Amino acid sequence: MTKLPGNAGVSLLGDKSLEFYRDPVSFCQQRIEKHRSRMFLCRLMNRPTAFICSVQGMRELLCEKSSLFLKDPTDLMTNIIFNLSINFPFPTPHALNTKSVYTAFKSLGTELVLGLFLNVRAEKQPELFQEISQLCTQHWHGLISAPVNVKVPMWSSGFSIALDARNKLMDIIKDKLENDKEGFVGSLGSLPLPDSSSAAQHLLLFISALIPKALASLLTSFTLALARRQAAEDPDYLCRVLLEVQRLWPPFIGGRRIADQDSTLMGFHVPKDFGVIYISHAVHRDPEVFQEPDAFLPERWSGRNEGHEHFLCSFGNGPRSCIGAKLTNVFLKEACVYLLNNFDWCLDPPVQNLEYKWLPVSRPANPPTVTFTQRDHTLSVYFCEGF
């Protein structure tokens, strides 16, 4: 066994969390170059942590050795999600004409998950829909803030607000579970759940901001990628485009595990209780697997990388991957087909700063402006902040 390159430093003083959160992509790239290795050691969240930036390491961690690294199983409800019918509520052009691309697609994702999982439709219960949407946002923003639960007169910490939002969401969910007998909520009653709170906990996960943000991230990247290329309507080519979008612009930066025992990854020794984080952005640009890793090349998925979809880890990988991945892909394909069939679009102005930010969800740091024109050319829709 070989010692991990890098240094975990000393407790607190050696922690690199702030540097990582500021720019995770540069953080990893600098250390890959420094150590000449796509796996290295740093201190993250005050724990010695191995960073994995290669396909080989990711596959070992999430597939071959997944039982050696702790993560709560999340596959309880996989079987019932995909038996439900989905009414795709794509927004009308009029409803979108004052929003940025990312904001518009996030609204679409929110409408999808609340309608599917809670039977709450924006057009039928607008007040409840807005209340849940706001609570989900507060819950998400608080959870990614510093975990400090503080309340003083006229001010509460983000984490405290998140806890309050969670309690209110749980009350709404429990009421739905007791009184709704149709759709996804009604289906939960037939599941062998371990205790009475399990259904509510899982629904909280499903309606969280994660799915809308993932969908918004991927749809935004899709529109920006094809705004610079000829739009393709061939179904097979569209699938390759979406794989390439997911490869280059994964919605989430990665995932974290804890070593349950001494182990090895990529031949390096990983002691018990070490953290291990896989960085999807770096894994997806592993030059050993993806030639010209920084180039947008959908055709790679019908050539050298055909059948290599399992090398992606936007939603995890292996037996404990995200159960929402398939559902998100269904939403994503439906939305993209709708866009391709009904709109032409382009960046407006043609040259914009499309540099990405990667936390908490990947998207352009500066909201891009895109002109959408209906195929019948009777209406132009502008997606931009403050238009």
Dump pLDDT digits (tens) for 48-107.
999 999 999 999 999 999 999 986 333 333 333 333 444 555 555 544 444 578 888 888
**Range list of β-strands (E), the chain:** 39-44, 47-52, 69-70, 151-152, 155-156, 254-259, 263-265, 268-270, 275-279, 343-347, 356-357, 363-364, 370-374, 380-383
pLDDT, residue 227, reads 59
Amino acid at 385: E
Percent of the chain with pLDDT over 90: 46
Confidence of residue 185 (pLDDT cuts 50, 70, 90): confident
Q: What confidence score (pLDDT) does residue 97 get? A: 44
Q: What pLDDT shows up at residue 198?
A: 80
Residue closest to 266 by CA, chosen among 283, 291, 284, 248: 283
Neighbours of 325 (CB within 10 A): 16
Per the structure block, which two tokens stand in for 301? 């998925």
User: How many other CB atoms are found less than 10 A from the CB of residue 364?
Assistant: 20
Query: Which tokens sit at 35?
Result: 């150590």
Cβ count near 140 (within 10 Å)? 19
Half-sphere exposure in the Cβ direction for 51 (13 Å, CA)? 31
Q: What is the pLDDT of residue 232?
A: 53
Helical spans, DSSP H, in 230-345: 235-248, 280-283, 325-342
Mean residue pLDDT of the chain comes to 82
CA dist., res. 302 & res. 244, Å (int): 11
Predicted local distance difference test score (pLDDT) of residue 228: 53
- Distance in angstroms (rounded) separating the CA atoms of residues 129 and 115: 9
Q: What is the pLDDT of residues 329-378, one digit of tens each?
A: 888 888 888 888 888 888 888 888 999 999 888 999 998 888 888 876 44
How far is residue 79 from each of residues 196, 212, 270, 324, measured CA to CA in Å? 20, 21, 35, 12
Task: Please say whether the beta carbons of 368 and 105 come within 8 A.
Answer: no
CATH of domain 16-79+250-311: 3.30.43.20
Rank 224-233, 237-246, 318-327 by mean pLDDT and report only the highest.
237-246
Q: What would the two tokens of residue 71 be?
A: 């993560």
Q: What angle do CA 107, 110, 114 make, to 5 degrees?
A: 145
SS3 for 173? helix
Q: What are phi and psi of 153, to 5 degrees?
A: -55, 130
Place of tokens 């923003």: 141
- Cα 338 to Cα 76: distance, rounded to the nearest angstrom: 31
Residue ranges covered by each domain of the chain: 16-79+250-311, 101-248+319-374
Which CATH superfamily is 101-248+319-374 part of?
Answer: Cytochrome P450 (1.10.630.10)
> Hey, what are 115's tokens?
């309608």
**8 Å CB contact between 132 and 169:** yes
pLDDT of 151 reads 54
pLDDT value of position 189: 65
Question: pTM, whole model, 2 decimals?
Answer: 0.82
φ, ψ of residue 304 in degrees (nearest 5): -60, -35
